[in-house]
Amino acid sequence: MSVTVIEGSNAVFVCQASALPRPVIQWYHYNPVSNSTSPVMDGGPKYNIVETIEGERVMNSILTVLSTNVSDFGEYMCTASNVVGAVSATTSLTINGESLLFHVWVLEYVYKFYNLLQTYVHAFIK
């Protein structure tokens, strides 16, 4: 799946994970030019991450890539983990296409020791 934005606009990715115990969400960016994956860190001029909690199981994480440029293209991965295990979902970002609204739902399940971990990734462009 791919999300395409016009250079200079923001790209927004939403990850929702439900598990017991509540999972922790981490974002990663893979840049195919440098063939490297790095964690996405909140703050600074490039990324903004907002996390919200729903009840005892659900964690939401919203990643905004601010003022996109060509160095932001590549894959964005959301990883949700707890003591039971981890699951990931990935979408890609392309720069300089037409502005659009795009929805991606990825469901992954891990069942271990009677716990269920679900990850929903909903990616869209503002």
Q: What is the pLDDT of residues 19-64, one digit of tens each?
A: 999 999 999 999 998 899 999 998 888 999 999 999 999 999 999 9
Supply the pTM of this predicted model.
0.75
Domain that holds residue 114: 2-124
Tell me, what's the pLDDT at 111? 34
Q: How far apart are the first and last CA of the chain?
A: 17
55-79 burial: b if 16+ Cβ within 10 Å, else e: eebbbbbbbbbeebeeebbbebbbb
For 50-60, write each residue's pLDDT tens digit. Answer: 999 999 999 99
Query: pLDDT, tens digit, for every residue of 83-95?
Result: 999 999 999 999 9
CATH number for 95: 2.60.40.10
Q: How many domains does the chain have?
A: 1
